[in-house]
Structure 1
Amino acid sequence: MGTCKCHLKLRKPEDAAAACSKVLELDGENMEALKNRAEAHILAERFEQAKQDAHKAHEKDQNDRSVMEMLQRIDRLIKMASRKDYYKVLGVDKLTATARDIKKAYKKLAVQWHPDKNQDNLEEADKMFKEIAEAHDVLGDEEKRGKYDRGEDLNEQPQGHPDPHTMFFQNGGFPGGGGQRFFFRQG
């Protein structure tokens, strides 16, 4: 089991998965080996295999909070892997790109792909220009960039903060819902 953990710490997912598999051949009930092999699959970006191992671990112990968190993380990673990579669109490094780097890359690519400058390739230029603008919209805004980096849905309203327009109409058009009643006593 120690070999599997060492390979994980060294960020060698293939070796870690192989070592964990050997443990599981000897003891198919070893929760730690299942969780570590799932982590190795995550590291290698084999999310479906990671999910299978995490589900097996969850079946063995449905009260293990770390397995539930792992399943949630895997789902988020699957979702992130399927969406556009805005860093790649702008050609900047995710870990080191500053707001200035993002703005500079956006300006350069916007000029390069502007439809007015690409009349002979208008369809592709229009598509690229929109994609570049979308990437800049997300990465150029610190709040949106943070959500994007965490794998959160950018179109979703934050919990606890409903859409104010919806709230206005649901509450009869009055702040606070107009549900408070006041009674006055004379005399």
Structure 2
Amino acid sequence: MKLKQQGFSLIELVIVIVILGLLAATAIPRFLNVTEDAQNASVEGVAGGLATAVGFVRAQWEVDGRRNTSVILDGTSVSLDTRFGFPTGVTNTSVTAMSNASCQEVFDNVLQSAPRNVLFNQDARDERYTVRVQGGAGGDAIGIDGSTVTNIDLCVYHQVASLVLNQNSGVPTPTPDLDTVGAKGVVYNPGTGQVLSFSND
């Protein structure tokens, strides 16, 4: 007795392909939103952690008498501007003299287990954030002595996943700033202690 092999008919195959196409069309946008949501949650988490750490530095400064240029936070010396009491790096003590390096020092020294980061003009392929100072972008603030300090610098931490990197060098292109389209990240104002997340979608 000979067995007859049977396969799927052309109509059955077309129906299956149509069903798979419909499922893919509805599932792909959901997966894209999951990635976007994860990136947003990551930025919010870093912003919350940085805000808490900045608050701890300020609290320690208050406890130490308000006039010291540095505090010890978890065994690490953190410098600050005595007019405000918020972290400004390891050796810098002025909110108007911040540099890329001092912004990176704030990120690395006040956060416990800070995310991997590099300066904005370095290879960022294996990093999570880039660091850049925006000179004078922090506006004005009133110090504890009542004087107004103008042109306060702003530290900007861009999430690498939201930037376009040069394929050869790994450096973000164009140079990331506060207006970079599609960029997400965190800004820190050392004059007010304010930490905000941003998204330029």
Given the two structures, how large is their TM-score scaled by the length of structure 2?
0.23
**Which structure has the highest helix share of the two?**
1
Comparing both chains, which one has the higher relative contact order based on Cα–Cα distances under 8 Å and sequence gaps of 6 or more?
A: 2
